[in-house]
Amino acid sequence: MLTIAGRKFRSRLFGGTGKFSSPEVMKAALEASGCEMVTVALRRIDLNNPADDIMRVLDRDRYLFLPNTSGARDANEAMRLARLARASGGGEWLKLEVTPDPRTLLPDPIETLKATEILVKEGFKVLPYMNADPILALRLQDVGAVAVMPLGSPIGTNQGVLTRFQIEIIISQAQVPVIVDAGLGAPSHVAEAMEMGADAVLVNTAIAVAGDPVRMARAFAMAVEAGRIAYESGLGAVSKDAAPSSPEDGLGFLR
């Protein structure tokens, strides 16, 4: 079981709600994924409107609702959005995204740290989306982030865990859960992240734009599970030299 800020999750796959062909397909894919936490872009939903397309199909008892601040260019905008969401019943969990470059959507480390610090003091449970920078992960943890969400590669690129060496360092140091987010384009990518010891992964685009999003969601769920079991079972070490099956081969001269 994964615990974040005192809340337990059976599934280590977190879902998204953007880019789906319809709210109904989104709902079916989320169900097939088995996920218990879903992120929702605050800019896409109308929190005050129960007939809002996304809110209508999302069962708030079934999923932990993780509003995100996508679209925010700086700490102020993100904080404003967070407060507004909480005031209209969005809860205190927050995926903090501060992405000043609308093209790459890469997170701004300085503004992200600033906003995390303030929002934590205001009582939010902040999960910051961040570049895979180990020191930044520690700094975010120090100011009270309840998890960190380093990117595997730029959002929507499907390139997998290109930031592998940094994520390995983050995992080895973090005291809060590490959720690999963004760029995970195939089940094999999430299996890789989970084998490395990530606590969870968040997948949106790869499921939403798949030919069959529902079956793809299932494939991702299985890969997350496989990767986690492999990690817990202890993977063999990687070596460039062939390992002799009898370790004593060639040592017959020893007395």
Partner 1 sequence: MFTIPEFPALQEAVSRATEAEIVQALHSERPGLAGLAALLSPAAEPHLGAMAKRSGAITSQRFGRTIQVYAPVYLSSFCANRCAYCGFSADNIMERRVLTFAEAEREAMILHQRGFNHLLLVSGEAPAKVGVDYLEEIALRLRDRFAALSIEVQPLATEEYARLFRAGITSVAVYQETYDREMYKQVHLGGPKADFDYRLESPSRVAAAGMREVGIGALLGLSDWRAEGLALGLHLAWLRKQYWRTGLTVSFPRMRPAQGEFKPLQPVSERNLSQMIFALRMFDPDVGLYLSTREEARYRDGMIGLGPTRYSAGSCTAPGGYGQEDAGGEQFEVGDSRSLAEVSSAIQKKGFDPVRKDWDAVFQIRGDGQQAA
- Residue 146 or 182 with smaller CB distance to partner 1: 182
Q: Is 95 a catalytic residue?
A: yes
Identify the residue among 11, 71, 144, 186 touching partner 1 (CB under 8 A).
71
- Asked if residue 46 binds partner 1 (CB under 8 A), the reply is yes
Query: Can you tell me the distance from the alpha carbon of 177 to that of 245, in angstroms, rounded to the nearest whole number?
Result: 37
Q: Residue 203, exposed/middle/buried by CB under 10 A (0-12, 13-18, 19+)?
A: buried
Buried b (16+ CB within 10 A) or exposed e, 180-195: bbbbbbbbebbbbbbb
Q: Are the C-beta atoms of residues 226 and 33 closer than 8 Å to each other?
A: no
- Asked if residue 188 binds partner 1 (CB under 8 A), the reply is no
**228-231, long-range: CB < 8 A, 24+ apart:** 228/12, 228/194, 230/191, 230/194, 230/195, 231/194, 231/195, 231/196, 231/197
We find the least distance from the C-beta atom of residue 129 to partner 1, in angstroms, to be 17
Instruction: Name the DSSP letter for residue 120.
Output: H
- Residue 103 or 255 with smaller CB distance to partner 1: 103
Residues 131-160 that bind partner 1 (CB under 8 A): 156-158
Identify the residue among 40, 58, 79, 196 touching partner 1 (CB under 8 A).
79
- Residue 75 or 140 with smaller CB distance to partner 1: 75
For residue 204, say whether it is annotated as part of any ligand binding site: yes
Q: Are the C-beta atoms of residues 214 and 25 closer than 8 Å to each other?
A: yes
Helix (H) or strand (E) holding 88: none
- Asked if residue 72 binds partner 1 (CB under 8 A), the reply is yes
Query: Can you tell me the distance from the alpha carbon of 152 to that of 164, in angstroms, rounded to the nearest whole number?
Result: 7
Identify the residue among 96, 148, 190, 208 touching partner 1 (CB under 8 A).
208
We find the least distance from the C-beta atom of residue 73 to partner 1, in angstroms, to be 6
- Asked if residue 20 binds partner 1 (CB under 8 A), the reply is yes
We find the least distance from the C-beta atom of residue 68 to partner 1, in angstroms, to be 12
State the CB neighbour count (10 A cutoff) for residue 61.
5
Q: Are the C-beta atoms of residues 115 and 127 closer than 8 Å to each other?
A: no
- Asked if residue 58 binds partner 1 (CB under 8 A), the reply is no
Identify the residue among 84, 135, 229, 235 touching partner 1 (CB under 8 A).
84
Tokens of 207: 């499921």
We find the least distance from the C-beta atom of residue 185 to partner 1, in angstroms, to be 9
For residue 252, say whether it is annotated as part of any ligand binding site: no
Which positions touch partner 1 (CB under 8 A)? 18-23, 42-46, 53, 71-73, 76-77, 79-81, 83-84, 100-103, 156-158, 205, 208-209
Write out the catalytic residue numbers: 95
